[in-house]
Amino acid sequence: MSRHSLTPRQGNGGESAFFPSFQREMNRLLDQFKSGFPLLDDDAQSVFSGAAFPAIDVRENDDVFEVSAEVPGVKEDDLDITISGKTLILKGEKSADHEEKEDDYHLIERRYGSFRRQIPLGFAPEEGAVDAQFDDGILKLKITKPATAKEDVQKISIKKG
């Protein structure tokens, strides 16, 4: 049987290794609190606190602008997709509740987070030019470019210094 001591481990020079790590953890919690993010587990925290959520792929050719966004755990009803001028705006919210009841305890966990991504299109789509599909946490948008978007492209030639 192993036995654990409550005595702090000693680092170099005799100082305790417990207090610096405790201080770092307290600073991390205070930083999270000040930033306004909910205290989530490490996996959820890394997903929702990053500036790049949801992860997106963008493809473009002469006729179509395509966006694919990964939004695992987000329900279709919790997605809000809009276009404002020449900007595509993706917004959403994820919430999950978990409850366990046993004889000697009752556990309730709530996890939540929201996101907003703005994607410049470079053109204002015509009414009805956007096709949106959502399946298994993947949002796919296909935006047909108006004829005027093709006219706005200007090729720039590069000369040697």
The answer as to whether 68 is a domain residue is yes
Contact in structure between 85 and 121 (CB atoms under 8 Å): no
The answer as to whether 2 is a domain residue is no
Number of residues that make up the chain: 161
- Most confident segment among 53-62, 82-91, 110-119: 82-91
pLDDT digits over 111-122, tens only? Answer: 777 888 999 998
Note down the domain range covering 42.
Answer: 18-50
**Same-domain pairing of 64 and 143:** yes
The answer as to whether 70 is a domain residue is yes
CB atoms within 10 A of CB 71: 21
The answer as to whether 40 is a domain residue is yes
Reported confidence tier of residue 36, pLDDT bands at 50, 70, 90: low
- Structure-model confidence comparison of residues 94 and 111, the more confident one: 94
pLDDT digits over 98-146, tens only? Answer: 788 888 888 887 777 788 899 999 899 999 999 999 998 899 999 999 9
**Same-domain pairing of 46 and 59:** no
